[in-house]
Structure 1
Amino acid sequence: MTAPLPCPCGRPLPYAACCGVWHAEHAASGRLAAPTPEALMRSRYAAFVLDERAYLLATWHASTRPAALEAPEPGLKWLGLTVKQAALQDADHGTVEFVARSKLAGRAHRLHEVSRFVREDGAWLYVDGDVA
């Protein structure tokens, strides 16, 4: 028997018991169910790693959502995610500061961002972020 696929988000859980839950829920019903801004951010990182563009677009607030997302560049490898801080400003607004590391064409890249999230109709959505 093969070991379960680890979750790309960095939590010590198998993908199917972590971000895969939110991806599968959306694929099956269209429902967005991540319970916190941090859970949504982690599931979005996992969606980038796994090229789940439909999930990324669905979890992006309509006011800032692009019309489409291009396929990742060939050879892009995601290396890891570190959540530095997650905070709720009130019941429907939150922020998550994170560092996402990747490698492309032999060069390491690091995205350090403070992302903003809003909850609408019970679903958390990514609004935008400031590069830190």
Structure 2
Amino acid sequence: MSKRRRARPMPEDCPCGQSATYADCCGRLHSGAAQATTAEQLMRSRFSAFAVHDEAYLLRSWDPRTRPADVDFDPGMSWERLDIVGSTGGGPFHTEGTVEFRAHYRAGGAAGVLHENSRFRRDHGAWVYLDGDIEH
């Protein structure tokens, strides 16, 4: 696997699935112009960061206690669609939350789905990804 930083061109439509442009949606969070106000918004922005290979944002939005040293991107994998299945907590007035999602991807020409229940918490007021359980 080779590591890339922002190696993919920025898309017009936001990869997270919201009906907004990338620049008006997750791009604002990736650039630091805005901050996620809910755990779901952070989850969507992290999916988009994987789609555009934004390692800096992924590391910045990862809980310091569980954050890896770096993020390796598989150049043969593309993240195509995000479906939010459900969530608990994670609102503007919560300190913890979960988001269950299905992330659709294509790798080596084959379609696949990552189904995960992710945990989020606030760290100094900002939502961060803590960890997740992959559903099989």
TM-score, structure 2 as length reference = 0.85
2:56 alignment counterpart = 54
- The offset of 1:75, in angstroms, is 2.4
User: Does the 8 Å contact 2:63/2:123 carry over to 1?
Assistant: no
* 2:102 corresponds to 1:84: no
Of 105, 111, 116, the match for 1:113: 116
SS at match of 1:87: strand
Q: Whose helix proportion is higher, 1 or 2?
A: 1
What is the identity, as a one-letter code, of the residue corresponding to 1:23? H
Of 9, 30, 47, the match for 1:23: 30
What is the identity, as a one-letter code, of the residue corresponding to 2:117? V
Q: RMSD of the alignment, in Å?
A: 1.6
* 2:8 corresponds to 1:7: no
User: Aligned partners of 1:117, 1:53: CA distance in 2, in Å?
Assistant: 18
- The offset of 1:119, in angstroms, is 0.5
* 2:107 corresponds to 1:104: yes
User: Aligned partners of 1:118, 1:61: CA distance in 2, in Å?
Assistant: 8
Of 99, 124, 129, the match for 1:126: 129
Q: Flag structure 1 segments of 5+ consecutive residues without an equivalent.
A: 27-31
User: Aligned partners of 1:34, 1:23: CA distance in 2, in Å?
Assistant: 10
SS at match of 1:74: coil
User: Aligned partners of 2:102, 2:65: CA distance in 1, in Å?
Assistant: 24
2:98 alignment counterpart = 95
- The offset of 1:82, in angstroms, is 0.3
TM-score, structure 1 as length reference = 0.87
Structure 1: 4+ residue segments shifted above 2 A? none
User: Aligned partners of 1:66, 1:21: CA distance in 2, in Å?
Assistant: 24
What is the identity, as a one-letter code, of the residue corresponding to 1:10? G
User: Aligned partners of 2:75, 2:99: CA distance in 1, in Å?
Assistant: 28
- The offset of 1:10, in angstroms, is 0.4
User: Aligned partners of 2:41, 2:53: CA distance in 1, in Å?
Assistant: 18
